[in-house]
Copies of this chain bind each other. A is one copy, B any other.
Amino acid sequence: MPSYQAPVDEVLFLLNDVFHIERHNNLPGFADASPDVVEAILTEAGKLAAEVLTPLNRSGDIEGCTRHDDGRVTTPKGFREAYAAIIAGGWIGISAPAELGGQGLPATLTVAVNEFLASANLAFSMYPGLVQGAIAAILRHGTDVQKKTYLPKMIEGVWAGTMNLTEPHCGTDLGLLRTKAVKQPDGSYKITGTKIFISGGEQDLTENIVHLVLARIEGAPEGTKGISLFIVPKVLVNADGSLGARNGVSCGSIEHKMGIHANSTCVMNYDNATGFLIGEENRGLPAMFTMMNEARLGVGLQGLAMSEVAYQNAAAYAKERLQGRALSGPKFPDKPADPIIVHPDVRRTLLTIKAINEAGRALVLWTALQGDISHRSADEKESKAADDAMGLLTPVVKGVMTDLGFANTVAAQQMLGGHGYIAEWGMEQFVRDARIPMIYEGANGIQALDLVGRKLPKDGGRALQAFFAEVQSFLAAHKDDAAMKAYAAPLNTALGHLQQATMWFVQNAMAKPDNAGAGATDFMHLFGLVALGYMWARIVKAANEKLASGANGDAERYKNKLITARFFMERLLPETGAHLARIQSGAESTMAMPVEGF
C-alpha cells in the first residue's frame, strides 16, 4: 500500500525564501497569509491528504463509481465522509471572497493545498477541484443574483459544480458543438443535447450540482461565435434559496476508463433542462477562456502531484529493497545485498524525478502567484505584466508538467521492477491516473499550439520578451557570483536555445504556419526546461542565502538543493539543444507524407 507525506516544508521554502511572498502583502488577502497561518493551513491540508484521502485511493480505484438504473451515481466507500471533511475544513473556499463565505486568502495557497489533495487521491480531488473552477466562472461572469444564488453553497461545498464542453463529435473544436438553447418568455433557456466526459457529472457527495454548459442559442451564428454559457442546476433553486424541482438533466452512463476510476466521468443528457445565461449571448467561449488559465494550471499541478507521490514511494522502495551490490564494492557487506539506491542508474532515475518535481513546484507556485497579482493588484502595469506572465506560462505548466509528470510516474514505477506492475503496490494506479492530465483541459498538443500560435505573438511578443528580460536580468545580477556560476552558465545556454528557436519561428513561421505547428511541442518543452532551469537558479540563490546565514542547523537540506540543481543542469537541461535542432529542421518532412502513406 503506497504512502504519502505532503511536502509542507518545500512549499514553505518556496513561498517564504524563494519567492518572498511577504513582498506582496499590499495585495488583498496576502497580509492575512502570514508565515504562521500558511504553515498551519498547509500542515492541516497535509494531514487531511495523508490520513483521510490516501487510504481511500486504492480502494476507490478498485471499487470505482456505480451508475444505477435511475441515473443516480454512487461514489466509492468512504468518499462521502471524506467530502464531508472537505466541507467541514472549508477547503474549497480558502481563496474565495470573504463576503461569499470564503477566506479570501491568496489563490496561490489553494494551489499549494490542491497539490497535496491530488497526490493523495487524484480521483477524489477532482470533485472539489471542479467546484473551484465553476465558482471562478460564476464570480467572473455571473450576475449579482447568480452569485448570491449559487456561490455561498458552492464555496461552502454543499453544492458541486461541473464544466460541460465536450460532445461526442467535438472536443478541441468547440465550434462544432450542437447542444441547443431555446429562449423562454421568462428569460431562461431550455437546454437540449448530450455532453460527454463530464467529470463529476453525477455523484452522491453534494445536495446539488451546478452544471456550466456550453450551448448554441437558436439562430446563433455557426462556429465558435455562436456559443453561449449557461448555468444548469441539477436541482432548481427557489427564490428563497431552497431547493426546488429536479431539472431535466441526468447521467446517461459512466465511462470505463484507464484510471481515475473513483471520479465519475459521465455522459450527461440535457432534455429541455432549464438554464440561465451567464455573461453575454454568443460570448460563451471567451467566458470559458478567461478561466482557462486557472483550470490548466490546476491540471499541470496534477502532473506534479502524481510525480511527487510516485517519487516518494519509489524512493522508499529503493532504500529498502536489497538486490545486487554497488559497482564500487559492497556498501552493506553485513546484509545479503545492498539496497538498490546504491546503483547509479536508480539514483539517476530518482534524481531526474526529484529535480523536476522541486523546480516544477516552484514553477507552479510562481505562475499561481502571477495569477494572484494579476487579479488583485491595483497597479495596472503590475497587474498586466502578471497577467502576461500567467498567460504565457500556463500552457507550459499544463503541457510540460503533465508530460514530465507522467514520464516520472512511469520511471518511478520502473524502480519497483515487477512489483511496480502489480496492483497491490499502487504504482500502476499512479501511472494510470497520471495519464489523464496530459489529455483533458486541452490535450498537450493543443497547449503547444496555444503557446506558439496565440501566446507568443500576442501583443507583439510582449509576454515572452518580458520573460527573457527577467531571466537575463537574474543572470546579469549574479554574473559575478562564483557560487552561481555552475548553474548560471547552463541556464544561459538553454535560454539562448529558446531565443534562437523564437527567432526561427519569427523568420520561418509567418509565411508557413506549418513550421510553427511542426515545432510547437518541441518549443513548449524547450520553454519548460528553461523555465525549470530558471526556477532552479532561484532555488540555488535562496539555498545559498540560507547556508550563508547558518541554515538553522538544516544545512544538509540546502546542500542537497545544490546537488539536485547541478544534476538538473548537467542531465536534464542539455535536451534544449535537441529541441532546437528539431524545431529548426522545419515542417518539410513532417508535411511531405501523403495521407495514404500513414
Contacts and interface: CB of A to CB of B under 8 A. Distances in A.
Contacts of A574: 577-578, 581-582, 585
Contacts of A160: none
A383 interface: no
Contact of A597 (B448, B563, B587): B563
Given A323-B172, A518-B348, A563-B597, A417 B439 contact: yes
Interface stretch (A46-54, A79-87, A147-155, A335-343): A335-343
A445 interface: yes
Contact of A514 (B166, B344, B591): B344
Given A257-B423, A327-B514, A513-B328, A570 B595 contact: no
Q: How many copies does the complex hold?
A: 2
A431 B410 CA distance: 11
A9 interface: no
A327 B431 contact: no
A443 B422 contact: no
A258 B449 contact: no
Given A428-B257, A570-B589, A571-B585, A597 B560 contact: yes
Contacts of A323: 170-173, 176
A347 B589 CA distance: 10
B593 A345 contact: no
A169 B339 CA distance: 12
Given A435-B410, A439-B417, A574-B578, A351 B589 contact: yes
Contacts of A577: 574, 577-578, 581
Interface centre among A347, A413, A521 (most CB of B within 10 A): A347
Interface string A254-265: 011111000000
Given A255-B422, A514-B327, A520 B345 contact: yes
A516 B327 contact: yes
A414 interface: yes
Contact of A564 (B410, B435, B593): B593
Interface in A541-598: 556, 560, 563-564, 566-567, 570-571, 574-575, 577-578, 581-582, 585, 587, 589-598
Contact of A258 (B318, B423, B453, B517): B423
Contacts of A582: 570-571, 574
A518 B327 CA distance: 11
Contacts of A463: none
Interface in A316-342: 318-319, 322-324, 327-328, 336-337, 339, 341
Contacts of A327: 453, 513-514, 516-517
A567 B417 CA distance: 34
Interface in A393-450: 406, 410, 413-414, 417-418, 420-424, 428, 431-432, 435-436, 438-440, 443-445, 448-449
A232 interface: no
A197 interface: yes
A516 B343 CA distance: 11
A25 to B, nearest CB: 33
A398 to B, nearest CB: 14
A346 interface: yes
A440 B414 contact: no
A428 B324 CA distance: 34
A594 B424 CA distance: 29
A319 B256 contact: no
Contacts of A172: 323-324, 417
A556 B328 CA distance: 55
A349 interface: yes
Contact of A345 (B259, B445, B585, B595): B445
Contacts of A170: 323
Contacts of A361: none
B575 A589 contact: no
A354 interface: yes
A592 B563 contact: yes
B595 A567 contact: no
A574 B432 CA distance: 30
A593 B563 CA distance: 7
B514 A351 contact: no
Contacts of A259: 421
Contacts of A595: 319, 339, 341
A328 B513 CA distance: 6
Contacts of A512: 328
A363 interface: no
A315 interface: yes
A488 interface: no
Contacts of A445: 343, 345-346, 349, 414
A560 B420 contact: no
A126 interface: no
B349 A556 contact: no
Contacts of A406: 410
A386 interface: no
A387 B378 CA distance: 74
A277 interface: no
A421 B436 contact: yes
A163 B574 CA distance: 41
A589 B560 contact: no
A258 B432 contact: yes
25 contacts: A170-B323, A171-B417, A257-B423, A257-B428, A327-B514, A341-B595, A343-B445, A344-B517, A344-B518, A344-B590, A347-B590, A347-B591, A347-B593, A349-B445, A351-B589, A351-B593, A414-B438, A420-B439, A421-B436, A421-B439, A432-B432, A563-B597, A567-B589, A574-B577, A574-B581
